[in-house]
């Protein structure tokens, strides 16, 4: 689960739902609907990950911007799920079990975990299905990113330019390792965004909610 870009949002679902009465369709992705209900739930979780609450947003401009960002995430996830189906990308039941076990460990007891699921609108079967979608989306995104390994020469050059900004207590080996990690993470993020852009360009997306 380490490095999973969706993990924060997955754990963020352990919150009570708001605006559960919303109906209708927010967007359609290659013919698949994203409901307003799903958008409102995801929006609340999206804000929580950023340490914000819906009621604390005073600016209508900021509110609409954040909601557009949340909707775009849902659209991207649906594009990735559909692409995973085309490519045959999947996750095993054992992987789902391991992810659930990791999440359960964040609660004092099994009753707390079950209560959090209910408050988020899930039973365990429904949450397993949701989690499968999240993990598959993450896996196919990394596959599509096609990130090349960071070369030693690139790391040495970056280390030389960044050395003055690093902790002077770090020896060269540790400093080089940190620089390599930074460059690899940056390259992965760029690769993921490029992969998403390609999916967006070839997908048929209709936004049906006014934002």
In order along its 211 residues, the chain shows pLDDT tens digits of 444 544 444 444 443 333 333 459 999 999 999 999 889 888 988 888 888 877 788 888 989 999 999 999 999 999 999 999 999 999 999 999 999 999 889 898 888 888 888 887 788 888 899 899 999 999 999 999 988 889 999 999 999 998 888 888 888 899 899 999 999 999 999 999 999 999 999 999 999 988 8
With 0-12 / 13-18 / 19 or more C-beta atoms within 10 angstroms meaning exposed / middle / buried, residue 125 is exposed
Listed in sequence order, the residues at least 6 apart from 100 whose beta carbon sits closer than 8 Å to its beta carbon are: 124, 127, 128, 131
With 0-12 / 13-18 / 19 or more C-beta atoms within 10 angstroms meaning exposed / middle / buried, residue 129 is exposed
What value does the CA radius of gyration of the chain take, rounded to a whole number of Å? 20
In angstroms, rounded to a whole number, what is the distance separating the alpha carbons of residues 189 and 187? 5
Domains and CATH numbers, the chain: 7-147+203-207 (1.10.4030.10)
What DSSP line would sit under 150-209, residue for residue? PPHHHHHHHHHHHGGGS-TTS-HHHHHHHHHHHHHHHHHHHHHHHHHHHHHHHS-EEE-S
SS3 content of the chain, % helix, strand, coil (to 5): 65, 5, 30
């Amino acid at each position: 689960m380490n490095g999973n870009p969706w993990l924060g949002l997955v754990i963020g679902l352990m919150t009570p739902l708001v605006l559960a009465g919303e109906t209708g369709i927010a967007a359609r992705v290659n013919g698949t609907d994203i409901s307003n209900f799903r958008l409102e739930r995801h929006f609340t979780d999206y804000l929580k990950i950023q340490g914000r609450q819906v009621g604390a947003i005073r600016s209508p401009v900021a509110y609409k911007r954040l909601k557009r960002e949340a909707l775009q995430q849902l659209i991207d996830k649906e594009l990735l799920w559909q692409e995973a189906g085309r490519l045959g990308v999947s996750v095993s039941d054992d992987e789902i079990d391991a992810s659930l076990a990791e999440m359960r460990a964040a609660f004092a007891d099994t009753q707390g975990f079950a209560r959090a699921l209910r408050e988020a609108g899930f039973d365990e079967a429904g949450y397993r299905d949701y989690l499968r979608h999240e993990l598959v989306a993450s896996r196919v995104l990394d596959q599509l990113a096609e990130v090349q390994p960071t070369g030693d020469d690139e790391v040495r050059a970056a280390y030389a330019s960044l050395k003055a900004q690093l902790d002077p207590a770090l020896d060269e080996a540790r400093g080089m390792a940190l620089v390599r990690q930074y460059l690899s993470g940056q390259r992965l993020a760029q690769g993921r965004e490029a992969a998403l852009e390609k999916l967006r360009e070839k997908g048929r997306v209709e936004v049906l909610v006014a934002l």
